[in-house]
């Protein structure tokens, strides 16, 4: 065999063996157990704490019935309570643990409502420079029923 071919084949062999060796070290043991992912991740995800209670639980029994019925009849009925109020599972299980205060800043409402060229034109949008005199949005809009000022 010609020397330059020998060198090329040796390099190729080293590369293949190197790849197999490194792969054996860095690929986690449970990879491929069920499919093209780490089998252990299924258990890890199942063990994560539940943080969201869901909007339905806010309106249950003697809890926030009034707010829930106002909200479920409003333009915000597709925006879950915990979108603005944060994860509240702990509060649902123990009412002494208060959820963090709702984010009532202009920028937070603006995540969905500031004018963006990419948003569908039918979606209610405002220009933050001219709308609402720089006051907090909840000063004029009820976040639970935005048109009920």
List of residues contacting ligand HEC (CB under 6 A)? 55, 58, 64, 67-68, 71, 75-76, 78-79, 81, 83-85, 102, 104, 106, 108-113, 123-124, 126, 128, 131-133, 135, 137-141, 143-144, 146-147
Q: Which is nearer to ligand HEC, 39 or 110 (CB)?
A: 110
Backbone φ and ψ of 7, nearest 5°: -60, -45
Q: Which is nearer to ligand HEC, 39 or 132 (CB)?
A: 132
Dihedral class, residue 50 (left if φ above 0, else alpha if ψ from -120 to 50, else beta)? beta
* Cβ-contact 39, 33 below 8 angstroms: yes
Q: Which is nearer to ligand HEC, 45 or 130 (CB)?
A: 130
- CB 15 to ligand HEC: min, Å: 50
Task: Count Cβ atoms below 10 Å from residue 137 Cβ, excluding itself.
Answer: 21
| Residues 7/10/16/19 CA torsion (nearest 10 deg) | -80
- CB 38 to ligand HEC: min, Å: 32
- CB 91 to ligand HEC: min, Å: 10
Dihedral class, residue 48 (left if φ above 0, else alpha if ψ from -120 to 50, else beta)? beta
- CB 62 to ligand HEC: min, Å: 13
Q: Which is nearer to ligand HEC, 38 or 112 (CB)?
A: 112
- With residue 33 as reference, give the H or E element that holds it: strand 31-35
């Amino acid at each position: 065999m010609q020397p330059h071919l020998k060198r090329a084949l040796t390099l190729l062999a080293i590369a293949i063996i190197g790849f197999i060796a490194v792969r054996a070290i860095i690929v986690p043991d449970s990879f491929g157990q069920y499919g093209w992912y780490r089998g252990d991740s299924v258990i890890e995800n199942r063990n994560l704490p539940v943080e969201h209670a869901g909007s339905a639980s806010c309106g249950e029994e003697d809890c926030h019935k009034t707010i829930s019925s106002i909200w479920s009849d409003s333009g915000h009925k597709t925006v879950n309570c915990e979108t603005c109020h944060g994860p509240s599972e702990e509060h649902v299980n123990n009412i002494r643990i208060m959820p963090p205060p709702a984010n009532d800043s202009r920028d937070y409402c603006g995540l969905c409502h500031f004018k963006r060229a990419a948003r569908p034109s039918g979606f209610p949008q405002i220009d933050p420079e001219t709308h609402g005199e720089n006051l907090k949005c909840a000063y004029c809009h009820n976040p639970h029923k935005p048109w009920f000022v």
